[in-house]
Amino acid sequence: MPRGLLFAIVSLAFTVPSVSFAQTRERVKITGVRLGFPGSGGAAFKAGQWAPVYVDLECTKDTTKDESKLLLIVETKDADEAITEGTVEIPAMAQGDRLNGNELGRIPYLKLGSAYASVTVRVKGAQTGRTYGESSDRWFTGTDTAVFVILGIGTNLNGIRFPVAGVEKGDSPSSRNGWVRTANVLDVGLLPDHWFGFGAVDLMVLGTGSDRAFWETLAAPQHEKRRKAIVEWVRRGGRAVLSVGNNPDVLDSIKEFKDLLPATIPPGSKKMVTGMPFEWKPSGANERNDAIRVADGKSEFPIVTLQPKADRATSTIVDDGSGRPVAVQGAYGLGRITVFAFDLDRLPFTDWNKRAPFWENVVNYCGYMLPPSGQKPEKYSSIQYDDLTTRLQGSLDFFEGVPVVSFGWVALFILIYIILIGPVDYLFLKKVIRKLEWTWVTFPVIVIGVSAAAYFAAYALKGKDLKTNKVDVVDIDLAGKRIDGNAWFTLFSPRIQNYTIAVEPAGPVDGGPAWAANSNAGDTVISWQGNVERNRYGGGGGGFFAKKYKYESGTDPADPNKDLY
């Protein structure tokens, strides 16, 4: 038998059993993976920000006999190509069970290191550690960090428009020359249950007019964490818009949102009108004065009465020309919330031919000021871009007393090493020892000697102390009587070692008050900080033997919802 044919048969014999074993081992199929929020142009997530991961599962062979719980594990890479892993527990699955991402009851999150990110998913047994399912890398293209992401909650933002001046061929009025990207969450089960899951969002639009069932579902007790996640996101600096017209009563059963709003809606204040005049109060607004009407000029639509809260600092940014508020805005913690007295997601506004400048005003004065429409978004991969995070990381990476060895010195030592193992070794053996075969001894001696010298030299330069550089920023909310702190820090380890890193609010100093009544604050989040200039949060490589690190949640044992964290 020809040798090539024999080799092919032997290879097939080894391959077929391994494939069969892999097929029998897979009890849970990963049928779908989605990253970020669904929207115009694909997934809406940003490099350097947390994003939810939605996974669909199908069980092909029972797992309940061996496991009571399964672990859903998601992995990606950070800015330095190190693998990061997040895990959530889900119930064991029986044969035939199917679970979509909105049915798992909890959502895993990842902080992406690049706008072009890969995600790997595995399903393992919580008791046995056995792998029941695994997917290969799924690749996703996200949103440029400079682009404004507008997220609709309970409403579809496909009808959003902006002025078209300066729009290039191939662009749409909804993207405003590439500056805006919209996304939608129309299923309550897809709402993040942690505030940082909205990390990529610049402006949140909550529309109560078009899908009443969405808000009735969100008001259910099992979705309390999702409601609180939205409120906490605003409190920590998020900016949101809520429109109320047709269904003002849905807010009665959502206490968290009623407390969030800067104005109250009196019972029975809903009324039908054929037109609503408005005037934007900010002097720089586009087309400040106009009126919203149905196209036929006769049909009616609902509006409500807004009464600014007396115990909150508020401002009326839009009125009807006679002083009656149409939009009331107020601070909530470090964020901002604006409520409109009509529906932004229903007729007549969704078909109104002048909604483009109105939407531009909404983003500018309820969210963040948009750049001039003729300007193109800056690309963070540009070497000319100078970002504050780059300067921050550069400062944190500098440790006083730890010398940085320049590339010139490294190149010189490499050259000396090559000379030692080459010409010097050869001449020494030929002229002095006169036995070239002794290179089997001299070569390892040189390699070990140079390696030991390099190790001890590096040890002497780096020292033996673990060093930390840290910058703290403290935000004080006087109205809400709350203090939030942010800490950016870099650790310098003189040797390769594993660490467990946690952050806690500081305790009392010199008899002063503590930052928190409970030093183990449950809402503390720790993650990596990357450099924006390098490949949009892209950096060096983790190496072939790089180890992954895991995110782990610490919860209060007395919390009845601790299993949801």
How confident is the model over 120-157, as pLDDT tens digits? 999 999 999 999 999 988 999 988 878 899 999 999 99
Count, residues in the chain: 565
291 Cα distance to chain centroid: 39
3-class SS of residue 479: coil
- State both tokens at 35: 């990253």
Alpha helices in 350-465 (DSSP H): 355-366, 388-396, 407-419, 425-427, 439-462
Residue 531 to residues 395, 526, 538, Cα–Cα distance (Å)? 12, 17, 7
Least confidently predicted of 263-267, 272-276, 317-321, 397-401: 397-401
- State both tokens at 510: 């010199």
Burial call 302-327: b when 16+ CB within 10 Å, e when fewer: bbbbbebeeeeebebbbbeeeeebbb
Q: What is the pLDDT of residue 270?
A: 94
Residue 80 has pLDDT above 80, yes or no: no
More confident residue, 60 or 4: 60
- Which has the closest alpha carbon to 300: 277, 320, 272, 278? 272
Of all helices (H) and strands (E), which one includes residue 31? strand 28-35
Question: For residue range 224-234, what is the model confidence (pLDDT) as tens digits?
Answer: 999 999 999 99
Q: What is the pLDDT of residue 547?
A: 62
CA atoms lying within 13 Å on the CB side of residue 531: 21
410 pLDDT tier (thresholds 50, 70, 90): confident
86 pLDDT tier (thresholds 50, 70, 90): confident
Question: For residue range 16-42, what is the model confidence (pLDDT) as tens digits?
Answer: 444 333 434 689 999 999 999 988 777
Residue 8 has pLDDT above 70, yes or no: no
Q: What is the pLDDT of residue 515?
A: 58
- Which has the closest alpha carbon to 377: 389, 365, 366, 385? 385
Residue 509 has pLDDT above 80, yes or no: no
Residue 536 has pLDDT above 80, yes or no: no
As to burial, measured by CB atoms within 10 angstroms (0-12 exposed, 13-18 middle, 19+ buried), residue 381 is: middle
Residue 556 has pLDDT above 60, yes or no: no
More confident residue, 553 or 237: 237
Q: What is the pLDDT of residue 3?
A: 44
Q: What is the pLDDT of residue 375?
A: 75
Q: What is the mean pLDDT of residues 395-399?
A: 86
**98-99 and 50-59 beta bridge pairing:** antiparallel
Position of tokens 């097939």? 12
Residue 102 has pLDDT above 70, yes or no: yes
Query: What DSSP assignment string belongs to 241-294?
Result: EEE-SS-GGGGGG-HHHHHH-SEE--TT--EEESEEEEEE-STT-SS-EEEEE-
Of all helices (H) and strands (E), which one includes residue 226? helix 224-235
Q: What is the pLDDT of residue 25?
A: 62
On whether the CB atoms of residues 59 and 98 are closer than 8 A, the answer is yes
Least confidently predicted of 4-18, 443-457, 512-526: 4-18
Q: What is the pLDDT of residue 31?
A: 95
Q: What is the pLDDT of residue 218?
A: 95
Q: Which residues pair with 125 in a beta bridge?
A: 70
Residue 551 has pLDDT above 70, yes or no: no
Alpha helices in 273-406 (DSSP H): 355-366, 388-396
**Would you tell me how many other CB atoms lie within 10 Å of the CB of residue 478?**
7
Alpha helices in 107-243 (DSSP H): 212-218, 224-235
- Which has the closest alpha carbon to 372: 181, 176, 201? 176
- Which of 302-311, 381-390, 502-511 has maximum average pLDDT? 302-311
Q: What is the pLDDT of residue 363?
A: 95
Q: What is the pLDDT of residue 413?
A: 83
Cα–Cα distance, 246 to 302 (Å, whole number): 6
Residue 13 has pLDDT above 60, yes or no: no
Residue 168 has pLDDT above 60, yes or no: no
Cα–Cα distance, 168 to 494 (Å, whole number): 53
Residue 563 has pLDDT above 70, yes or no: no
**Would you tell me how many other CB atoms lie within 10 Å of the CB of residue 422?**
10
Residue 369 to residues 50, 192, 284, 479, Cα–Cα distance (Å)? 23, 26, 11, 25
- State both tokens at 471: 């910058």
Q: What is the mean pLDDT of residues 86-91?
A: 89
Residue 51 has pLDDT above 80, yes or no: yes
On whether the CB atoms of residues 565 and 522 are closer than 8 A, the answer is yes
Cα–Cα distance, 209 to 248 (Å, whole number): 9
As a whole number, the mean pLDDT across the chain is 82
16 Cα distance to chain centroid: 41
Q: Which residues pair with 123 in a beta bridge?
A: 72, 133
Q: What is the mean pLDDT of residues 524-552?
A: 59
Cα–Cα distance, 26 to 30 (Å, whole number): 10
Read off the amino acid at residue 360.
E
Read off the amino acid at residue 387.
D
Residue 67 has pLDDT above 80, yes or no: yes
Residue 370 has pLDDT above 60, yes or no: yes
- Which has the closest alpha carbon to 292: 365, 210, 352? 352
Q: What is the pLDDT of residue 516?
A: 56
On whether the CB atoms of residues 251 and 208 are closer than 8 A, the answer is yes
Q: What is the pLDDT of residue 132?
A: 95
More confident residue, 500 or 356: 356
Question: For residue range 378-394, what is the model confidence (pLDDT) as tens digits?
Answer: 654 444 455 677 788 88
pTM here? 0.82
Q: What is the pLDDT of residue 549?
A: 62
Cα–Cα distance, 248 to 233 (Å, whole number): 23
Residue 520 has pLDDT above 90, yes or no: no
- Which has the closest alpha carbon to 29: 138, 136, 135? 135
Residues 347, 350, 356, 358, Cα dihedral to 10°: 50
- State both tokens at 311: 């115990």
Residue 2 has pLDDT above 50, yes or no: no
Q: Vertex 126, ends 120 and 132: CA angle to 5°?
A: 50
288 pLDDT tier (thresholds 50, 70, 90): confident
